[in-house]
Every structure is written in C-alpha cells, then in structure tokens.
Structure 1
C-alpha cells in the first residue's frame, strides 16, 4: 500500500516538474487504485466501528420489540380470558341471586299464607266461642226472663185472686 502511495506521489511530482499537462477529463494514474483502497478500507473500518454495533443495537431493539409484542399479545389474550370468566361468573351470580330472590318470595308467601290461615282459624274459633257464650247467656237470660215472667204472672194472679 505504501508503494502505491509512493508511486502516486512520485508521478505527481515528476509530472509537475516536467511540465507535462495533466490529463483531460479522466486521469488514470495511481490515485484511482489508491481511492479504491481507501474506500474499501474506510468501508471495513466503518463497518467494524459503526455499522456492526448499530446493526446489533437495531437487531436487539427489534428482538425486544418482537418479544414485547408477543408478551403483550399473550397478556391481552389472558386479560380477555379473565374478562370472559368474570363475566360468566357475574352472570351465574346474578342467576343465583335471582333464584334466591324467587325462593325468598315463595317462602315469604308461604309464611304469609300460613299466618293468614292460622289467624283465620283463630278468629273463627274466637267467633264460635263468642257465639256459644252469647247463646248460653241468651239461654240464661231467656230462662231468667221466663222465670221472672212466671213469678210476675203468679204474683199478678195471686193479687187478683186475693182481691
């Protein structure tokens, strides 16, 4: 590589010293291979120092994004399953509560009917007892009135016969 460099500088010095005019549009001397070597060398250096670490960082970031996306999809699927399970549990709980309410209403209705039947039976028994008591008092009053009427009738007859 240094030989090319020396050749290129020697040609440039000898060409300037001889006074020969430089080339026209394209000058094909040692600078073309030197530039090619520099480009290749710069490509290797940039690849080693810059492109490879940046590429690795980009690949690591891409891997992280890919794994994060996969984890997010799994967590989303898990959250959807949990939401479905919770909604199913909520539906079952509502159904259970409705069943309990229906059973409680039926039990309350049954207790109401039993209490109503007991109250009616008790009122009938009290009414019958009162009727029989009234009937016995009526009989006693009639017997008492009949006895009083017989006594008064006998008293009137005795007074009328005595007069």
Structure 2
C-alpha cells in the first residue's frame, strides 16, 4: 500500500499554489458553455414566467384599484341617494300626517255640525209636538170644561 502512495506522489509535478496547464482553459470553456445552456434552458423561461406574473399582478392591482375607486364612488352615490330617499320619505310621512290631521278635523267639524243640526231639528220637532200637544190639551180641557158646565147646568135645571 505504501508503494501506491509513493507512486501517486511521484506522478504529481511540483508547482506552486496553482498549476497553469490545459485544464484551466478547458474548465473556463465548460463554465461558459454551461452558463449559456442553463440560461437558454432554465433562466430565460423562468424569467419570462416571472415577468408575466409580475405584469399580471401589476395589471390586476391596477384594475383592483380602479374597481375599488368605482365601488367607493358608487357607495357615495348610493349613500347620497339613500339620504335623499330618507328625506323624501320623511317629508311624505309628515305631509300624510298633516293631511290625515286635516281630514280628521274636517270630519270632526262635519260630524259636529251634523250632530248640532240633528239636535236642533229634534228640538224643533219636540217643540212643535209639545205645542201641538198643548193645543190639543187646551182644546180637550176647553171641551171638558164646557161639558162639565153643560152637565152642571143641566143638572140644576
């Protein structure tokens, strides 16, 4: 075993830190070729995909910002419309309450006037019936008085 080690040591030329022989340029050429191959096969397609994704992301972000601005604008418009609708509804409710109150007062006044008219008519009818009853009673009383006087005179004769 030691003989092999001696042979391995004997075959290696004595040099400095770096040996400049044909392997250095061969390794440089291999690195350059490998770089071109890797660049053509892996790095360009991956770079293209990364650029496409970045473009898609930036486009999506821009569209999202536009849509967000549009949504905010629509939200403000809808809030304004809702506010106007609420004010309009409150006005309609107030008008309806006032109209209802006016109709109630008119109906109450009409009912009161009709009740007063009915009461006045009933009072007049009662007065007329009382007058008629009084006249009839007066006539009956006069007849009864005449009858009594006639019978008294007839009895005294």
Q: Give the shorter-chain TM-score range.
A: 0.7 to 0.9
- In the TM superposition, residue 20 of structure 1 has moved relative to its aligned partner by 4.9
**Correspondence for 2:12:** 21
Size of the aligned set, in residue pairs, is: 145
Q: For residues 14-163 of structure 1, what are the structure 2 equivalents within 5 Å?
A: 20-23=11-14, 26-162=18-154, 163=156
- In the TM superposition, residue 54 of structure 1 has moved relative to its aligned partner by 1.6
- In the TM superposition, residue 69 of structure 1 has moved relative to its aligned partner by 0.8
What is the CA deviation profile of residues 98-138 of structure 1, one whole-angstrom value per residue up to 9, with x for unaligned ones? 22122112112211211111111111111111111110111
Distance 1:151 1:23, change over 3 A: farther
Q: For residues 3-14 of structure 1, what are the structure 2 equivalents within 5 Å?
A: none
Structure 2: tracts of 5 or more residues without a match: 1-9
Q: Secondary structure at the match of 1:58?
A: helix
Structure 1: tracts of 5 or more residues without a match: 1-18
Distance 1:84 1:38 in 2: 66
The 10-residue stretch of structure 1 (148-157 or 67-76) with the greater mean CA deviation from structure 2: 148-157
Distance 1:103 1:63 in 2: 59
Distance 1:41 1:157, change over 3 A: same
RMSD (Å), alpha carbons: 1.8
Q: Secondary structure at the match of 1:29?
A: coil
Distance 1:138 1:20 in 2: 163
